[in-house]
């Protein structure tokens, strides 16, 4: 459910058209909140997207990994011995 805020100057039909336009511009995102306001003759839209879960992938000792749980003891020791650059 999208929370929509307006300053009362726009009709429901106008808001619906702007929401549909935003959905077309960002088809792979989910909106959580949209605020519309008037700036002179222009409509300003401020919106927030639903957060997306992702797995962090790092290059460790020559391998792209998300976690170290599949490393054998030798690779885990190599990770512990490496110099970490900040």
Residue 22 pLDDT > 90, yes or no? Answer: yes
pTM of the model: 0.58
Residue with the bigger pLDDT between 60 and 18: it is 18
Instruction: Quote helix, strand, coil % in the chain, to nearest 5.
Output: 25, 30, 40
Average pLDDT rounded to a whole number, residues 58-64: 80
Domain ranges in the chain?
3-49, 54-86
Classified as helix, coil or strand, 22 is helix
Residue 57 pLDDT: 87
């Amino acid at each position: 459910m999208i929370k929509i805020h307006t300053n009362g100057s726009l009709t429901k039909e106008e808001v619906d058209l702007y929401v549909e336009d935003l959905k077309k511009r960002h088809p792979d995102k989910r909106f959580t909140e949209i605020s519309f306001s008037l700036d002179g003759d222009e409509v300003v839209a401020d919106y927030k997207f639903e957060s997306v879960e992702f797995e962090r992938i790092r290059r460790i000792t020559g391998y792209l990994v998300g976690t170290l749980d599949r490393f054998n003891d030798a690779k885990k020791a190599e990770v512990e011995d490496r110099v970490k650059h900040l």
